Amino acid sequence: MFLDILRQFWTSTGFSALTIKEVVMIGIASGLLYLAIKKGYEPYLLIPIAFGMLLTNLPLGGLMAEPVKEIVKDPVTGQMVYKTKEVGGLLYYLYQGTKLGIYPPIIFLCVGAMTDFGPLIANPRSLLLGAAAQFGIFFTFIGAKFLGFTGPEAASIGIIGGADGPTALYLTTRLAPHLLGAIAVAAYSYMALVPIIQPPIMRLLTTEQERKVKMQQLRPVSKKEKIIFPIVVATFSILLLPSSAPLLGMLMFGNLIRESGVVERLSNTAQNALSNIITIFLGLTVGATAKADSFIDITTIKIIVLGLIAFSIGTAAGVLFGKIMYKVSGGKVNPLIGAAGVSAVPMAARVVQKVGQEENPSNFLLMHAMGPNVAGVIGSAIAAGVLLMFFGS
Amino acid sequence: MLGDNITIGQVLIVTVFSMGIVFLALLVISYIIDGFRFVFYKENKGVDKRQKKSIEPEKIEPKEIFNEEEDDEELVAVITAAIATNISRPASEIKIRNIKRVPTNTPVWARAGRFKQFELIDR
């Protein structure tokens, strides 16, 4: 009797159901938590993602369990109706916001409310650097196809090169939701590693003379320009590419409430409370999709490698286009700022500042790099829109 | 538009077309912003006003040092040197009459960034 109870208790615990793969996943989640907490790698996202990963791989918890439905005859009307037999897990319901593409555009709204497009308006040509850096997306897209991924999968992997978390998550939920965990981990890990990945590429592709270039001070931008910018960009881009509407629409709306100056409370909420709430939900649920069965697979390793290639090629393309602008402008543009075109705001711009200052301590490239940096956000959202147009159902 | 299985040819077409659209869209936006400059930004007027503003006060300032704390003299020296460097004039031409602390509107991250710059230069 007592032994039976003990045995039953044992089978009801997670320990009895734990598989080797799940143990490995718990190890990976712990590793990511270490990197986030101890090393400070994108902790705001990596902690929720890693903890979501941990929770989903503890067996029998059922946090991501889908609800069980049955078809029964309605006793009153006599019709066959769906009835929920068992409700789903907590994270399953929160995950619907990710799956249905709701959280990433809301994050974009918050990003818009935090972004100052002033440096971009002051130097509009820096938009081209933001475009050039998107080449990493398509290079990786081709590479992924060669490695045997399907079209929609290759597009989702390529978008890691956009170095923009919400864009990558949005496109992946639309095109290849089964890869969400791996792509999220790759995208956010590499974004944290921007200060390590980018500088060698930047130094390799530029000469000392180019890195020393001091750029002209940016002109001041009027409030009117800042207010009209989001309205014009949203209208034009969405008319050109309707599939980019959720991301760009929200980004520009967020920016408008910031710049309008008359809805301070909305702007504050978007920049702080809303952004934090959605980050928690998004991180936890994206992490929770990384289940042992699907995550521990050669596919994940391929995605991690391709993601690194995407980042590197994007940086290189930006810098090379910066070199073209350096030549065309007669040496007025510092090609380093091209590296900021990969987005990863504001980390990539800070890396540019740092590398530029190593060569010339009196050089301040930060504001010049912010132009391509925020252009990269618009660029990757447009790239995501184009890929969605091709592969979206 | 395209399915799961795509050929290499289609991959290349998608790549070229997509990069084209990204460039085109951002190029058009950059020209629209160029338009902003003509419509909303009066460059010469703005520059003149700012120059006047920045030069005038220094000429008028009479000589009188506001003494309140021991460190004030050092503070005045630092501010004088900073102004002199900024406007490229000898420090002897500048007289500090009054120093008022202005409440800062700079966000914390911007200040942190500046401190980092100082540290880098110090090294």
Question: Would you place residue A258 in the very low, low, confident or very high pLDDT band (cuts 50, 70, 90)?
Answer: very high
Domain that holds residue B88: 58-100+107-123
* Best B16, B21, B32, B33 residue to mutate vs chain A (most A CBs within 10 Å): B33
Model confidence at B69: pLDDT above 70: no
Q: How far apart are CA A116 and CA A366, in angstroms?
A: 13
Question: Would you place residue B122 in the very low, low, confident or very high pLDDT band (cuts 50, 70, 90)?
Answer: low
Q: What is the pLDDT of residues B90-99, one digit of tens each?
A: 887 787 777 7
All residues at 6 or more sequence positions from A191 whose CB lies less than 8 Å from its CB, including other chains: A42, A163, A165, A344, A347
Q: State the nearest Cα–Cα gap between A353 and chain B, in angstroms.
A: 10
Read off the tokens for A4.
């039976």
Q: At what angle do helices B43-60 and B72-87 cross, to 10 degrees?
A: 140
pLDDT of residue A384: 95
Contacts of B34 in chain A (CB under 8 A): 124
* Interchain CB contact of A177 with B (< 8 Å): no
- The reply to whether B120 and B85 lie within a common domain is yes
Q: State the nearest Cα–Cα gap between A391 and chain B, in angstroms.
A: 5
Please indicate, yes or no, if residue B22 is contained in any of the structural domains: yes
Please indicate, yes or no, if residue B49 is contained in any of the structural domains: no
- The reply to whether B64 and B40 lie within a common domain is no
pLDDT of residue A72: 87
Mean of pLDDT values over A364-377: 93
Strands (E), A207-317: none
- The reply to whether B62 and B121 lie within a common domain is yes
Please indicate, yes or no, if residue B112 is contained in any of the structural domains: yes
Please indicate, yes or no, if residue B53 is contained in any of the structural domains: no
**CA nearest to A366 within chain B:** B113
pLDDT of residue A382: 95
* Interchain CB contact of A365 with B (< 8 Å): no
Please indicate, yes or no, if residue B2 is contained in any of the structural domains: no
Residue A223 exposure: Cα atoms within 13 Å on the Cβ side: 6
What total of structural domains would you count in chain B? 2
Residue keyed to tokens 């500046």:
B114
Rounded percentage of chain B residues whose pLDDT exceeds 90: 20
- The reply to whether B118 and B90 lie within a common domain is yes
Q: What is the pLDDT of residues A170-227, one digit of tens each?
A: 999 999 999 999 999 899 888 888 989 999 999 999 999 999 999 988 888 999 999 9
Residue A131 has its nearest CB partner, among B22, B34, B121, at: B22
Model confidence at A306: pLDDT above 90: yes
Are A120 and B26 a contacting pair at CB < 8 A? no
Are B36 and A383 a contacting pair at CB < 8 A? no
* Interchain CB contact of B66 with A (< 8 Å): no
Mean of pLDDT values over B31-49: 71
Residue A222 has its nearest CB partner, among B5, B22, B40, at: B40
Size of interface A-B (CB pairs under 8 A): 117
Are A124 and B23 a contacting pair at CB < 8 A? no
Please indicate, yes or no, if residue B51 is contained in any of the structural domains: no
Q: How far apart are CA B57 and CA B61, in angstroms?
A: 6
**What's the complex ipTM?**
0.88
Radius of gyration of chain B (CA): 27
Are B36 and A379 a contacting pair at CB < 8 A? no
Are A142 and B15 a contacting pair at CB < 8 A? yes
- The reply to whether B37 and B78 lie within a common domain is no
| Per-residue b or e along A215-227, where b marks 16 or more CB atoms closer than 10 Å to that residue's CB | beebeebbeebbb
- The reply to whether B86 and B111 lie within a common domain is yes
Q: State the nearest Cα–Cα gap between A228 and chain B, in angstroms.
A: 9
Residue A357 has its nearest CB partner, among B17, B36, B120, at: B120
Q: What Å distances lie between residue A262 and A176, A257, A389, CA to CA? A: 40, 8, 36
- The reply to whether B78 and B123 lie within a common domain is yes
- The reply to whether B92 and B122 lie within a common domain is yes
- The reply to whether B23 and B73 lie within a common domain is no
- The reply to whether B83 and B122 lie within a common domain is yes
